[in-house]
Structure 1
Amino acid sequence: MSLNLTTRLPPRALLSQATRAGHRSPRGASYLTKDVPIRQFWRNSQRSAQAAQAEHLVHDATNLGQLDGKPAKHVAVNIDGDPRIFDTVFLRDSCTCPRCVDPDSRQKLFQTSDIPQDLEGACRTVVDREKGWMVEVVWKNDIPGYGAEHRTRHSIDWLRRALTTELELRGGVRSDERVLWDREKITNNNKWVDYKDYMAEDEVLFDALSHLNKYGLLFLKNVPESEESVVDIAGRIGTLKNTFYGRTWDVKSKPNAENIAYTHQFLGLHMDLLYTSNPPHLQLLHSLRARSPGGESLFSDSFEAAHSLHHSSAFHFRTLCTFPVTYHYHHPTHHYHHTRPTIELFAYPKYSEPTNLAIRHINWSPPFQGPFEARIGGENQTALRNYLAAANAFEKLLSAEENLYEYRLEEGDCVIFDNRRVLHARRAFDASKGERWLKGAYVDDDVFFSKLRVLEERYEGRWIADGVVRHAVK
C-alpha cells in the first residue's frame, strides 16, 4: 500500500504498514527495530492523532521513490508537514551502516566517486525504538560490491538538520557568539578561573572555553609554580602547537635578543607568528616571576576596533580588507614570510548589517612587518596612500585608552587569549630590579574548536561550525 499526499491513516494502521509486509533487514530484524511490539511502542510514544498524521513521511505526487513504486533519482520526504526533495546520491553517500562506515574508527569505507551515475532508490518509513521515525532506502544500481540486501537509514531529525545546514550555509547566515568589548565591558565581564577547578571539572572547562570564544580573553589564578603548568593548562584543550620557538618558550629579558619580546623595552600591540601560514589561535602566558617594576600587559579587542572603523569609514574598512601586508621573520637559521590583508572576512558577509560583518581574523603585528611587495608606487597609484590612512585610523582605535585593558600578571596567574583577535602589548620594565619570567605556549584553531564542539554537544546538545549551529541528533 503506497502513501501519497492525501492518504490519512490512523496511528495503528501507520505502524502496521511499516511492519506487516514481513520485510526483514539482512540480519533478520524487523523494521520496527529492537523487536519492539507495536502496542508497546504505541503505548510508550503516546502520539496524538495530529502528530500521527505528520508521520506520513515518504511521498510525492506520483508515489515515485517508494518500495511499491518505481525507483527514482530523487525522493520526497515529509518534514514538518512539507515534502522536501533529496537527491538519492546524497542519501547514499551519507549512509552510516557498518558496511559503509567503520563502527570503531567512524571512517568511510567507500568513496563518493564510487557511487554510480545511474543510482536510484526506493524508500519507506520505518520505526526505531531509539531514533524514532526513519526513512529506509533500498537501492537500484548500488555501488559495486553491495548486494541487494543493502539498506540505508536516516532519521527525520538528521534529515531536518541537513536541510537547515544547507540553507544557512547557502544564505550566508552566521551564528556569532563573540562579544565585542572595550575597557569598561571587559572589566565588568572578565572571567577568572581557579586552576584546580579548570583542570578537574569539565563543566568549568566548558564555561571557561565558551567565555574565551566569546571574549577572546581568559585568566587563570593559583597556577602552580612549575614550568610544566602551562603544558597542563594547554593540554586540557588539546595538543600544543610546536613552532621554531619550541613546544613552550620563555619570555625573559636577555642581551642580543632575537625577538623584541625578549627585551625590557615597551612592546606595542601585536599578534604572534603572522609570518606563518597558520598562526596560532591561542596564546598562553604563565607568570612564574613578577619581581621587576613595570611590565604591565595590555590587551585590545581588534574586532571591536574593526566594527568601529566600518561605522566611521566603510572605505577605510574595505581598504584593510584588500591591501596586502607582508610579515616576515628573517634570520640566519629561520626565514618565514607571508602576506595577508589586515582584515579577513568569512564568505558571504552582510555589509548592510554592521553588527554582522563576519570578521574571521585580524592581522596586525607592526614589529614583524616586512617591506610592502605590491601596490608600492607610481604617481597614479593611490593604494598605498589609502592603506596608510586606513591603518592610521585603525591604530588610533586599537590603542585608544578607553579600548585598552591593562593588567599586571602576578606570579601564579596565566592569561589565555585569542591570538587572531585580541592584540597584546607590554609596558617597559626595569630588569635590573627583579626577574620577570613568563612561560608561553600556543594552541591551534582546529584543536581549540574541536574541544569546544565536544563540550558544546555534551552540555548543550548542539555544536557550531562555519557559523552554523548543528543540533545533536541520533
Structure 2
Amino acid sequence: MAALMRPPTVSRFLRCCRGTRGFSLQPRRGIQFLNPLDPPEDLSANDSRELFKSVEDVQKNGLEKREPSAYVPTIEIGKVTISKLLLRDACTCPKCVDPSSTQKNYQTTQIPENIDVKSVSGTSEGKIQVTWDNDIAELGTDHVSEYPSRLFHQNTRILEDVCDPHKIISNSEVAWNAKMMKDKLKFVDFDAYMTNDDSLYEVLEHLHLYGLVFLKNVPSSLKDAAVEDIATRIGRIRDTFYGRTWDVRSVPDAKNVAYTSRYLGLHMDLLYMANPPGYQFLHCMENTAQGGASIFSDTKWAASHLKPASRYLLHALQIPYEYRNNGEHYFHNHPVLYRKSSVKHVNYSPPFQAPFLLHPQYADEQWHQKIAALREFSAAVEDPENVVEYRLQEGECVIFNNRRVLHGRKEFDALGGKRHYKGTYIDTDVVSSRYRVLKQLDEEKHPDRVATQLKEMK
C-alpha cells in the first residue's frame, strides 16, 4: 500500500489561500460550453451536424464576448478554485438543509447574483468556515457555512460533488478483456454475502469496477426463492412483464430466444424499453445438460478500442429494439453509445433488434459509415480474446451490469440433461444507492484508504 498522506492542517490551507482576506475575488472566464468529442446525448443526425458546425466556429473564432457581469466570480481555497455560487449552494447547515428530511430549504436561484465571501477561517476540528455577505435575505447576516478541509486539496473533480464525495460514484470502472479477467473473476460465498455487510460491499465494489461477480454455495433448499433473496439483499427488485423473477430453460414454442437451447449471442436485456434494468441476476438451479456455457464481454473495453470517428458515429446511430409477442408490444430506439466524457451506457442487443425504417435518410453515406462502425464494435465485443466463458454450476449465481456487460450462452443439448436458471433484475439506482451507503461506512471504518486515494488523485 502506498504511503499514507498526512492531511494538510487548516492553517496551511488558509496560508495557501490568496488575497488579503484569504481568498481571491477575481472574476474568471473559465466557462467551457462544449467539448467537440462530447455531443449531448439525445441528438438527431441533423442536430449533430449543426452542433459540430457550431463547435468548429467556436474553435476558429473563440467564445463570444460577454459583459463583465456574466463572468463567474470565484474563490480560491487551498488548491481549488470554486465558483462562489457553487460553494454557497453546497452548504448543508440546518438553515439550508432540513436535518430530518435532508432536503434543501431554498432554491439555487434564490442565491443572490452578487453573493460574496466575508471571511474564511478554520475550526479546531479541521474544517473550513465561510461567512457570507449578500446572502439570501431570510437567512440573516450571520450565515456561516462549514466544509471538510479535505475538499480543498483534491483536484478539480471534487467540484462535481463538493457537498459530499460519496454522492457521486467516481468514474473508476476497469475495462477488461478475457486475459485480464482471468484473475479477476470473483466468487463470494452466499452465506457471507447474506449476513456480512463487508462481503456485500465487496460484491458491490467488484460490480462497480468490473460489472461481473459470482456467488457460490447457494443452498439448494432455497429453490426458487434464492435469486429473490440474493437480489433483495441489495434492494428492490425491478418487476417486468416477465414477472418479479423468471425461469430460463428450454420450453416448446418459446416466446423468447433465451427459452430455447439454441446459441444465444451476446446481448443486453430489455433494450426495447426506455429504461432497461441495470443489473441482472441468474441463479443456476440445475445444469446437467451438455454445453450451455455462459459468455460475457465488456463493452467498456470494446468501446475504448474503437477509432474516435467510430465512437462518434455510434453515438449518433439510433437502433430500434422491439418485443412483440404473447400480448405485449414494446419498442424503443437507443444510441449504441451513450456518453459524456466517457461511455456511460452501451446499448447492444442484436437478437431483439427491429428493422430500420425504409427511409431515404438511411441511403446516405453517413448512415453506411455508422453501420461500418457498428461492424467494428461487433467484431470487438465478439473477439474471442475479449469474451469470458464460464459454465455455471448448480448453486452458483452470476450478477452483472446489464448496461455494460454483454451476456450470452452457448448451445446446449436439451435432450441429454436439464439446464434451469432463475433470474431477476434490479435498477441501476438501487444498486448505486446501496453501494454509496456501504462505501461511506467502509471509508469511515478505514480512513487510511481514503488518505491513500486522495494522494493518488493528486
**Hey, what does 1:237 align to over in structure 2?**
234
2:318 alignment partner in structure 1: 324
Q: Which residue is 2:95 aligned to?
A: 99
Matches within 5 A, 1:129-148: 129-137=124-132, 139-140=133-134, 142-144=136-138, 146-148=139-141
Residue number in structure 2 paired with 1:10: none
Instruction: Give the equivalent residue in structure 2 for 1:415.
Output: 398
Distance 1:394 1:54 in 2: 48
Classify 1:376/1:229 alpha carbon distance in 2 versus 1 (closer, same or farther; 3 Å). farther
Cα distance in 2 for residues equivalent to 1:419 and 1:195: 21
Q: Match for residue 214 of structure 1? A: 209
Aligned positions, number:
389
Rounded to whole Å, the distance in 1 between the matches of 2:72 and 2:383 is 58
Measure how far apart 1:220 and its partner are. Answer: 0.8
CA shift digits 1:431-468 (9 cap, x unpaired): 233332111111111112222222222223699xxxxx
In structure 2, do the counterparts of structure 1 residues 112 and 440 end up closer, same or farther at CA, with 3 Å as the change threshold?
A: same
Displacement of 1:119 after TM fit?
Answer: 5.2
Aligned residue number for residue 165 of structure 2:
none
Distance in 2 (CA, whole Å) between partners of 1:258 and 1:384 is 32
The secondary structure found in structure 1 opposite 2:258 is helix
2:305 aligns to what SS in structure 1?
helix
3-state SS of 1:432 partner: coil
Alpha-carbon distance in 1 for matches of 2:82, 2:177: 47
Q: 1:302 corresponds to which letter in structure 2?
A: T
Q: Which residues of 2 match residues 31-110 of structure 1 at below 5 A?
A: 52=11, 54-55=13-14, 60-61=19-20, 79-80=77-78, 86-87=83-84, 89-110=85-106
RMSD of aligned alpha carbons: 3.6
Q: Does 1:157 align with 2:146?
A: no
Match of 2:350 in 1: 366
Looking at structure 2, the residues matched to 316 and 436 of structure 1 have their Cα atoms a distance apart, in angstroms, of 39
Q: Which of 311, 328, 339 is residue 333 of structure 2 equivalent to? A: 339
Query: What letter matches 1:342 in structure 2?
Result: V
**1:348-359 alignment, distance < 5 Å:** 348=341, 358-359=342-343
- Per the alignment, residue 20 of structure 1 pairs with none
Structure 1 Cα separation of the partners of residues 77 and 390 of structure 2: 53
Does residue 297 in structure 1 map to residue 294 in structure 2? yes
Shift of 1:284: 0.6
CA separation in 2, counterparts of 1:56 and 1:321?
47
What letter corresponds to residue 203 of structure 2 in structure 1? A
Distance 1:321 1:65 in 2: 41
Q: Which runs of 5+ in 1 are unaligned?
A: 1-46, 67-72, 349-357, 464-468
How far apart are the structure 2 equivalents of 1:281 and 1:219? 17
Q: Is the 8 A contact 1:326 1:369 kept in 2?
A: yes
Which structure is richer in relative contact order (CA contacts within 8 A, separation 6 or more)?
2
Distance 2:361 2:12 in 1: 70
Residue 181 of structure 2: aligned partner: 186
AA in 2 matched with 1:136: T
Q: In 1, Cα distance between the equivalents of 2:108 and 2:13?
A: 32
* 8 Å contact from structure 1 (residues 135, 156) kept in 2: no
Q: Distance in 2 between matches of 1:77 and 1:321?
A: 37
Pair 1:460 & 2:443 matched: yes
Counterpart position of 1:195: 190
1:258 and 2:258 correspond: no
What TM-score results when the alignment is normalised by the length of structure 2? 0.74
Equivalent of residue 395 in structure 1, options 367, 378, 392: 378
Secondary structure of 2:439 counterpart: helix
Max Rg structure: 1
Map 1:115-126 → 2, pairs under 5 A: 115-117=111-113, 122-123=118-119, 125=121
CA displacement at 1:391 relative to structure 2: 2.7
1:111 aligned onto 2:107: yes
Are 1:437 and 2:420 counterparts? yes
- Please give the alpha-carbon distance, in whole angstroms, between the structure 2 residues aligned to 1:330 and 1:232: 31
Structure 1's 100 and 377: CA in aligned 2 closer, same or farther, altered over 3 A? closer
- The AA in structure 1 aligned to 2:369 is N
- Of 214, 219, 223, 2:218 maps to 223
Structure 2 unaligned residues grouped into runs of 5+:
1-6, 26-70, 162-168, 448-452
2:74/2:82 contact within 8 Å kept:
yes
CA contact (8 A) 2:287 2:393 kept: yes
CA–CA distance in structure 2, aligned partners of residues 397 and 85 of structure 1? 41
Deviations 1:168-197 (A, max 9, x none): 79xxxx964322322222222211111111
Letter in 2 for 1:413: E
How far 1:64 sits from its partner (Å)? 10
Decide whether aligned partners of structure 1 residues 188 and 125 sit closer, same or farther in structure 2, where only a CA change above 3 A counts: closer
Give the whole-Å Cα distance in 1 for the aligned partners of 2:372 and 2:86: 50
The answer to which of 109-118 and 238-247 deviates more is 109-118
User: 1:26 matched to which residue of 2?
Assistant: none
Indicate if the aligned counterparts of 1:58 and 1:124 stay in contact, CA closer than 8 A. Answer: no
In the other structure, the counterpart of 2:450 is: none
The residue aligned with 1:177 is: 172
Residues 16-41 of structure 1 deviation map (CA, whole Å, 9 limit, x = unaligned): xxxxxxxxxxxxxxxxxxxxxxxxxx
Structure 1 residue 387, shift from structure 2 partner:
3.3
Shift of 1:281: 1.6
Q: Secondary structure at the match of 2:306?
A: helix
